[in-house]
Amino acid sequence: MQNNDSLKLIRDNFVDELRRATAGQKTSLPFIKSPLPQKTGVAGGEIFQVMVLGGSIFKSALVKKNNRQTHVISVKSENISPIKNQSMLFALFAEHLDPKVSTLAINFAFGLKPTLRNGLLDGQWQPTMDSKEFFFENLAGKLIGEELEKYLLETKRYRIRVTIANDTICLLLSTLDKLALPRSYKSYYVAGVIGSGINFAFFLDENTAVNLESGNFNRFEQSPAGKAIDRNSNAPGKHLFEKEVTGAYLYRHYNLQIKDDKHCLSSTKELSAVAKNADNLHFRLAQQLLKHSASLVACQVAGIYLYLNKPPQLNFIIEGSLFWDGYRYREYINNYLTLLEVPKTAVGFLKIKNSDIFGTANLLIIF
């Protein structure tokens, strides 16, 4: 566990990384600037489709724009097998595409380099940005939306427009219609994913959002277990913060420390169950690991609050089971924010129902 002075140093290091990245300097944070479309991409009353790909979960929804609001017509969700290449990915999209729609918006929970193409947001998949130790064979460096449009025209004779963005950017965009934000209040909202991964995004200005890819932050002291996990990962030396704090790795920290194969865990959900079971021999270790994670995540939250010049109320729109379901996790974060000198009323945490769908739809609806 880090002491208070160490946590404040980590917070300040994170702020320094943000400021240097803003100035165009190279830091551990990719700090990916995402231009936002300047005109609405669908007509009033038009039905279009949204797809959400988040690893093993796939969602598809038909939605309708009406008076700058998104109305969900239908939603389907399913578990999918691992996708290993471009052909499998595009076949998945094609299988679920409604042939009556002419516009598709995709929420893609992997590393993207964004660009505007024909007025819509598109993105190149960047394996070096991706923190999920995942690889889409043959897709690196390609504009996914553009390639999917070509594929659908050649294989299905569907002529369709595709827009795509990173999941954290889509989460940020979900604030616009669901919270009825005026443009001047965009700077008071931050999107955060605190679950199997870690990331934050916010608006730099009215026309630009930034995806931090904050799981790459490295100016903190790794734990011995974190170092061991990194050495044995597919990307040693990368995504160090994510390997230290997230649900994809916390249970592995536990397994390394108990050194008992009979009682090893297979998920951080199980770790949370151990933490609240005082009869378990290792419940204090489980609680300590959750506190350690929360303390470091609080450093990033506090750092963003300072970087944005201490707004009177900064709301974090959060997705992720670690944050919402982890044993006392929100309580731990709030306690550490107080230690990091963030006023209790200055930072709030919110959840928006169906944020993945609404935020993705907002790639086509300008506010």
**Exposure string (b/e) for 264-280, b if CB count within 10 Å is 16 or more?**
ebeebeebbebbeeeee
As given in the structure block, the two tokens for residue 161 are: 């427009």
**Exposure string (b/e) for 10-27, b if CB count within 10 Å is 16 or more?**
bbbbbbebbeebeeeeeb
Look at residue 181 in the predicted model and tell me its pLDDT. 52
Strands 103-108 and 161-166: parallel
Cβ atoms of residues 72 and 130 within 8 Å: no
Tell me the CATH number of domain 35-165+355-361, given options 3.30.2290.10, 3.30.420.40, 3.30.499.10, 3.90.420.10: 3.30.420.40
Look at residue 133 in the predicted model and tell me its pLDDT. 47
Cβ atoms of residues 137 and 87 within 8 Å: no
The CA distance from 323 to 246, in Å, is 10
The CA distance from 310 to 249, in Å, is 32
Which residue in this structure is represented by tokens 């200055």?
Answer: 346
Q: DSSP labels for 33-88?
A: EEE--SS-SS-TT-EEEEEEE-SSEEEEEEEEEETTEEEEEEEEEEE-PPP-BHHH
Assign 158 to helix, strand or coil: coil
> Taking phi first (over 0 means left), then psi (-120 to 50 degrees means alpha), and beta for anything else, what does residue 119 get?
left
The distance from CA 116 to its chain's CA centroid, rounded to whole angstroms, is 21
Look at residue 186 in the predicted model and tell me its pLDDT. 59
Location of each CATH 3.40.367.20 domain in the chain: 4-30+182-350
As given in the structure block, the two tokens for residue 135 are: 């690889």
- Among 211, 242, 203, smallest CA distance to 226 is for 242
The answer as to CATH 3.40.50.300 being correct for domain 4-30+182-350 is no
Which residue in this structure is represented by tokens 């993207």?
Answer: 112
Location of each CATH 3.30.420.40 domain in the chain: 35-165+355-361
Measured in degrees and rounded to the nearest 5, phi and psi for residue 122 equal -130, 175
The CA distance from 332 to 90, in Å, is 41
Tens digit of pLDDT per residue, the chain (367 long)? 678 899 999 999 999 999 999 999 999 999 999 998 888 888 888 999 999 998 678 999 999 988 767 889 999 999 888 888 899 999 999 999 999 999 999 999 888 999 999 999 999 988 765 545 456 778 888 999 999 999 999 999 999 999 999 999 999 999 886 555 555 555 689 999 999 999 999 999 888 999 999 999 999 999 999 999 999 998 899 999 999 999 999 999 999 999 887 889 999 999 999 999 998 989 999 999 999 999 999 999 999 999 999 998 899 999 999 999 999 999 999 999 999 999 999 999 999 999 999 999 999 987 5
Could you give the residue ranges of the DSSP H alpha helices within the chain? 4-22, 86-96, 144-156, 167-178, 224-231, 240-245, 250-258, 268-275, 283-307, 321-325, 329-339, 355-361
Q: How far is CA 17 from CA 23, 212, 222, in A?
A: 10, 10, 18
